[in-house]
Structure 1
Amino acid sequence: MCMRRCVVGLTFCTCYLASYLTNKYVLSVLKFTYPTLFQGWQTLIGGLLLHVSWKLGWAEINSSSRSDVLTWLPASVLFVCIIYAGSRALSRLAIPVFLTLHNVAEVIICGHQKCFQKEKTSPAKICSALFLLAAAGCLPFNDSQFDPDGYFWAVIHLFCVGDLLSVLDFPFLYFYRFHGSCCASGFLGFFLMVSTVKLKSLMTPGQCAAWIFFAKVITAGLSILLFDTILTRATVGCLLVGGLGEALLVFSERKGS
């Protein structure tokens, strides 16, 4: 079982790394910035692969009534916004910056659980949320490659992700990662979705959070080497604070599981 979990975790990290780097290359280097086309293409590829997986018995899809489908509409709207805003933001921002801003979605989820679901929040998780907010809040003032449009779309992206994960019930939740722009990106997005679902089904929340954190670290690190990224000391400081915040989030999840 331990070996199986390691294989699933490493597969997830590989898909995560390949998906983000491919998306960034096409969005930034090739300048293919048509988010509506991204959305249609990724949904088409993902839908076809999901249908094939269902036919082959690799995935289970429960049939639902029309009334159930109607309840998915709000989440579907957020899904569209996530893909559109995420593509726009990733095309303009460095991957470490994008991931640091994306982490604020965890703060939104934590706030919703604390205020509306009345869940008990550990001190480590509260400190994590504060660090994540501090890192994201300081980045615009210290980013030497600051792009106002990129930050604008990143804010929309993270709020949509936070609302979708904390409030609404959507059957194909992990399709929000389909913000690529080419065939390779479509397949990578699908495999990332499948590996994420497998990761969450085999591991505890703490173990899953640790693998996601590891995937983000290696993705952010390699992106700095592969893409034109300017990092000042202040920017690095913000990224490290964000990393510390997410490390505390992993610690709180592992302690609670």
Structure 2
Amino acid sequence: MNAARVILALIFCILFIASYFTNKYVLSNLKFTFPTIFQGWQTSTGALLLLVTWKLGLVEIKGFSRSAAFSQLPGSFLFIGNIYAGSKALSLLPIPFFFVLQNVSEVFAFLMVAVTHREKPSWMKLFSGYIWASVHLFCVGTYKVFQKNTKTSHLSDLEEQFINYMTSALLLASLAYSTGDLSGALDFPFLTSYRFQTGCLGSAIFGFCLMLATVKLKGILPQEHCGVWCFLAKVLASGLSLFTFNTVLSPETHFCVILNYTGEAFFVYSDRFH
């Protein structure tokens, strides 16, 4: 791997950690428990930044037909479920255990693809299976299956993300009003504080930059190499979170986290021979 690819992968790891840490700070430390507002802010900012960078010629979006946009809507709804449930889960769970539950989606997606494509599953991949279930992992896993089986393959990753951003921002805005999150957020005690505003701004910018870095990384590295760097980013984020946030893990949870990363290491390693 040349120096440029290593630098990009390291930037990805830094943005990965920064994105999850700022989200965790706003959701847990500042206790901003209004996911429709928080995720609506992030997706609307992401859509705006993607539009601006496209107009400036920094990223390439070729454009898409109305039918292609409509065919992406099931994926967009799964994307909304992913970020909404993920926001709620991240606010309540330590970062290491949040990644444990996230990895269940990988197993779910793998099993679904194995069934739909009638592939013989690898025992090494099944070794990393878990029995927990949640809305977050269901949406993440189902979205990955949707991406593998969708007929909108002519849409680029950035075009798909732009549709997801726009759909999420519009739907979450309406949900924020109907659920009362909007009025609750206006009464939030930290609303005018520098820490809250900095955290929200950082979460949106880091999230957008992480998305761009992820798309770029997938474009220049093989899938198995991307999996290695994503695994490294998760391990670093989990380890650093123990010193950054007030995280108390029981011996059982420590064992679960270690078992999770052992399983994921096998999963990543097995990709080399898939």
TM-score per shorter chain, which class? 0.7 to 0.9
Please give the residue correspondences for 1:1-257 in structure 2 after superposition, counting only pairs within 5 Å.
2-128=2-128, 130=129, 133=130, 137=132, 155-168=134-147, 169=150, 171-172=160-161, 182-256=200-274
In structure 1, distance between residues paired with 2:251 and 2:268: 25
Partner Cα separation in structure 1 for residue 2 and residue 80 of structure 2: 37
Contact 1:206 1:255 in 2 (8 A): no
Taking only the aligned residue pairs, the percentage that are identical comes to 46
Shift of 1:120: 4.1
Give the structure-1-normalised TM-score. Answer: 0.85
Tell me by how many angstroms 1:33 deviates.
1.5
Distance 1:38 1:74 in 2: 22
Instruction: Answer whether contact 1:113 1:166 (CA < 8 A) is retained.
Output: yes
Q: How many Å separate the matches in 2 of 1:175 and 1:18?
A: 22
The amino acid of 1:126's aligned partner reads L
Q: Which runs of 5+ in 1 are unaligned?
A: 138-153
Equivalent-residue separation in structure 2 for 1:184 and 1:228 (angstroms) = 21
Paired AA for residue 158 in structure 1: L
> Counterparts of 1:174 and 1:219 in 2: how far apart (Å)?
29
Deviation of 1:121 (Å): 3.2
Residues 197 and 175 from structure 1, CA distance in 2 versus in 1: closer, same or farther, beyond 3 angstroms? farther
Letter of the aligned partner of 1:235 in structure 2?
T
Query: Could you tell me which residue of structure 1 aligns to residue 174 of structure 2?
Result: none
Distance in 2 (alpha carbons) for counterparts of 1:211 and 1:254: 14
- Matched pairs, number: 233
- Give the greater-gyration-radius structure (CA): 2
Ranges of 4+ aligned residues in structure 1 off by more than 3 Å: 173-176
Distance in 2, Cα, partners of 1:67 & 1:174: 12
Q: For residues 155-186 of structure 1, give each alpha carbon's deviation from its aligned partner in whole angstroms, at most 9, with x where no partner exists.
A: 1111001001112447118968x9x9711100
Encode CA deviations 1:53-87: one digit per residue, 9 max, x unaligned.
Answer: 11122211132222221112211211211121111
Structure 2 contact 125–266 (Cα < 8 Å) conserved:
yes
Contact 2:11 2:213 in 1 (8 A): yes
- 1:88–1:174: structure 2 CA closer, same or farther, 3 Å change rule? farther
Q: In the aligned structure 2, how far is the partner of 1:228 from the partner of 1:167?
A: 37
Query: Which residue type is aligned with residue 162 of structure 1?
Result: G
Equivalence for 2:181: none
Gaps of 5+ in 2: 153-159, 170-195
